[in-house]
């Protein structure tokens, strides 16, 4: 799958990395537009960090090529070293110097570029104000919280105005509430500076909040690249449907103008993206796309008689396991929609929310 942006900034073409007989990254094609934020999302071992390390120049590819602004960085002709790629990278551990103040950490890259003291001072002051750390410029890393240290790492990476910004699971060491805050901070900074960014994470929430597009990786390959809304609502494969959020994967069979499930039949014309031939296939149905009501309630959605088999109250919603004959469906309902285990209910499903996946 090759994706070409309006103005290609970073292009990965057939990028491959092997370790002996094991292929960690397998013929990855991906293009990022100027100023685009793309996340590489997937489980541990899917190849996302290896891909990022090849982009950074820390690891040579076994095959394929990497280019920025049309200039080759990795390929058959050789590999440009990391320090000559014009990129900045932020690691899980932040990697800020413990013996330097906040201002000195941020100024480090500018000093290496031999800018004048006045320009260094001016750019450091501006970026620290942008990341809301100006009042802490003389503190040392040990005197900062994890979120503040991450802001310092972001400021140091951005202040040198890199061609591409690389982030390797930068929020993994933060607690849950701080991670949520920093997701929005990273997106705010991207909207302000519009630096082409590649972000590696296994956290779906991080990817959904920060990204223009998400590349879902599995076993070294990209399964789908799309905007977060499209990826969640129109997954193309079983893996993507199951990895992005929660879903019901339902076996179905097309029989001419009808689609048969375990306990009911729907007109094929009401479902989205069905295979064009008869035979078995799989549908993805999100739990929140299934309404659960008392029997007798009517609307335009498909109606399925069901029984509540399990339930769990999670504060902001009920999580139900509903049985439609032998078919098990996870259903998510608002707190006020409460049914006891064993209750007869009616499930309401809009067929347009049922997506065929490969």
Q: Which domains are seen in the chain, by residue range?
A: 8-241 (3.40.50.300), 247-357 (2.40.50.140)
Mean pLDDT of the 34-42 span = 97
What is the rounded average pLDDT for all residues in the chain?
91
State the DSSP H helix or E strand holding residue 79, giving kind and residue range, or none if neither: strand 78-79
Q: Give the Cα-Cα-Cα angle 66, 69, 72 (nearest 5 degrees).
A: 35
- Most confident range, picked from 39-43, 115-119, 230-234: 39-43
Question: pLDDT tens for residues 212-229?
Answer: 999 999 999 999 999 999
Measuring CA to CA, how many Å separate 184 from each of 48, 187, 191, 282?
A: 22, 5, 10, 35
CB-CB contact of 48 with 200 (8 Å): yes
Q: How confident is the model at residue 3 (pLDDT cuts 50, 70, 90)?
A: very low
CB-CB contact of 223 with 237 (8 Å): yes
Distance in angstroms between the alpha carbons of the first and the last residue of the chain: 15
Q: How confident is the model at residue 1 (pLDDT cuts 50, 70, 90)?
A: very low
State the DSSP H helix or E strand holding residue 349, giving kind and residue range, or none if neither: strand 344-349
Q: How confident is the model at residue 293 (pLDDT cuts 50, 70, 90)?
A: confident
Q: What is the per-residue pLDDT for 297? A: 67
Instruction: Find all residues with CB under 8 Å of 303, minimum gap 6, and list them.
Output: 346, 347, 348
Mean pLDDT of the 12-29 span = 97
Q: How confident is the model at residue 80 (pLDDT cuts 50, 70, 90)?
A: very high
Mean pLDDT of the 339-355 span = 91
Beta bridge pairs of residue 313: 318
Closest C-alpha among 217, 227, 238, 220 to residue 285: 238
Q: What are phi and psi of 31, to 5 degrees?
A: -125, 135
- Separation of alpha carbons 74 and 72, rounded Å: 6
Q: What is the per-residue pLDDT for 333? A: 93
Structure tokens at 55: 């982009």
Of residues 1 and 283, the one with the higher pLDDT is 283
Q: What is the per-residue pLDDT for 196? A: 97
CB-CB contact of 4 with 31 (8 Å): yes
State the DSSP H helix or E strand holding residue 164, giving kind and residue range, or none if neither: strand 164-168
pLDDT over threshold 60, residue 2: no
Question: pLDDT tens for residues 133-142?
Answer: 999 999 999 9
Question: pLDDT tens for residues 181-218?
Answer: 899 999 999 999 999 999 999 999 999 999 999 999 99
Mean pLDDT of the 281-310 span = 87
Task: Name the 3-class secondary structure at 320.
Answer: strand
pLDDT over threshold 80, residue 127: yes
Mean pLDDT of the 284-300 span = 84
The DSSP string of 185-201 is HHHHHHHHH--EEEEEE
Q: How confident is the model at residue 299 (pLDDT cuts 50, 70, 90)?
A: low
Instruction: Give rounded-to-5 percent helix, strand, coil for the chain.
Output: 30, 35, 35
Closest C-alpha among 216, 217, 218, 237 to residue 228: 216
pLDDT over threshold 70, residue 109: yes
The DSSP string of 197-224 is EEEEES-HHHHHHH-SEEEEEETTEEEE
Q: What are phi and psi of 330, to 5 degrees?
A: -80, 135
Question: pLDDT tens for residues 264-290?
Answer: 888 888 887 788 889 999 999 999 999
Mean pLDDT of the 165-194 span = 91
Q: What is the per-residue pLDDT for 6? A: 59
Q: What is the per-residue pLDDT for 351? A: 85
Q: What is the per-residue pLDDT for 50? A: 97
Beta bridge pairs of residue 75: 78
Q: How confident is the model at residue 296 (pLDDT cuts 50, 70, 90)?
A: confident
């Amino acid at each position: 799958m090759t994706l070409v942006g309006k103005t290609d900034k970073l292009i990965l073409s057939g990028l491959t990395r092997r370790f002996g007989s094991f292929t960690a990254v397998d013929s990855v094609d991906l293009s990022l537009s100027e100023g685009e934020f793309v996340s590489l999302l997937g489980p541990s071992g899917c190849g996302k960090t290896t891909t990022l390390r090849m982009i950074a120049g820390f690891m040579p590819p076994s095959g394929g090529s990497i280019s920025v602004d049309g200039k080759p960085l990795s390929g058959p002709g050789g590999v440009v070293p990391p320090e000559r790629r014009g990129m900045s990278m932020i690691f899980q551990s932040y990697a800020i110097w413990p013996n330097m103040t906040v201002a000195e950490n941020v100024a480090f890259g500018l000093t290496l570029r031999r800018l004048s003291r006045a320009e260094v001072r001016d750019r450091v002051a501006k970026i620290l104000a942008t990341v809301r750390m100006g009042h802490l410029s003389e503190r040392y890393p040990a005197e900062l919280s994890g979120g503040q240290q991450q802001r310092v790492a972001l400021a140091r990476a951005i202040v040198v105005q890199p061609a591409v910004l690389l982030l390797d699971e930068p929020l993994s060491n933060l607690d849950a509430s701080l991670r949520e805050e920093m997701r929005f901070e990273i997106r705010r900074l991207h909207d302000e500076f519009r630096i082409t960014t590649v972000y590696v994470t296994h956290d779906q929430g991080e990817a959904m909040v920060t990204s223009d597009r998400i590349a879902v990786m599995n076993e070294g390959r990209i399964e789908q690249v799309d905007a977060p809304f499209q990826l969640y609502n129109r997954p193309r494969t079983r893996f993507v449907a199951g990895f992005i959020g929660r879903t019901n994967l339902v076996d179905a069979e097309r029989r001419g103008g009808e689609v048969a499930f375990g306990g009911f039949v729907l007109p094929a014309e009401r479902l989205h993206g069905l295979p064009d031939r008869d035979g078995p296939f799989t549908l993805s149905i999100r739990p929140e796309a299934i309404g659960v009501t008392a029997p007798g309630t009517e609307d335009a959605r498909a109606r399925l008689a069901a029984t509540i088999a399990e339930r769990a109250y999670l504060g902001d919603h009920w999580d139900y396991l509903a049985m439609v004959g032998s078919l098990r469906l996870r259903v998510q309902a608002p707190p006020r929609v409460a049914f006891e285990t064993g209750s007869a209910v009616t499930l309401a499903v809009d067929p347009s929310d049922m997506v065929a996946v490969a």
